[in-house]
Structure 1
């Protein structure tokens, strides 16, 4: 189990013009790697400029409302989804946040040129190199709430309590409620640093109420 296998697989995805983005769980399923290893490596690739981390905002019926760089401005807000059968209002919580990675165009162009060079030098079929074995059925979104719940030892009750405080926008600025959410964030930060890029917008969201 080597993190560079993740790099190789991302390179194959970048070579596939039909793949613009992917969820971390797709890499876990395809390579049979633990999510901690996958997310940690993907975030390093973000820092290197290969990928871009974004967050899907989905309604309670799973329709995509928006795709953003940071979800902090959405937390606790009442939103109407016009894509649902009937216009429904709901409050944004962690279960509505879905991390997703986009492939950087410059990186994709680099891989394209690299494959062309390999084709010339080794007389290989570029299509065999570039398409890769990508099963789109594995690319299923997982909410931030579920990622925390399934990959940390934080109790479901603690996560649920913090999420409820986030969604109660009218009283989230009260010290007691802020502390509940802050405790969750601090616990994750201390023991599961690989999740930090995912919870950073949540930290900013809390900071806005503390100021």
Structure 2
């Protein structure tokens, strides 16, 4: 009888421990599901997270004459792996690098989505440059992990040093609202050394 009692007692203890372990495991799983639900709800309706995208600005300058230069500005966008965004606008501003005075504005084109007229379902007809805008989704959409670039041109004074400021505004669709994000970058373009000055410096070095 005593042996049977101890066996029943050990069995009851093991069952009790198993119940406790199962209860703790269930509680941990419930807490994990609740935390995951809160996180995904935050991602859907939250407005404080940042939409990741890389912005790179390059400026190329070529001499026209003694007074003016060509300025070509290239804006490269690299979307991160979180969702896609609509490209709302790209603004470019030129400032005098020494006085910080506003000089001119850069205009970036091609931000609206377009469609190409098709002769049939497989071949683009000649004269495809006659684009038609899509009214339903007028803004160009950048998919996750997509890279693209836009360019602008302006004539500037040959003698000045300039700062080019770029502002990119995107819009991201969420569950209950839209979120707009702003990205900024700048670069400095310096005056080009003229051929006459280069020749004079080279002659001076050769004479020494």
TM-score (norm 2): 0.26
Whose radius of gyration is greater, 1 or 2?
2
- Higher strand fraction: Structure 1 or Structure 2? 2
- With normalisation by structure 1, the TM-score equals 0.26
Decide which structure has greater helix share: 1
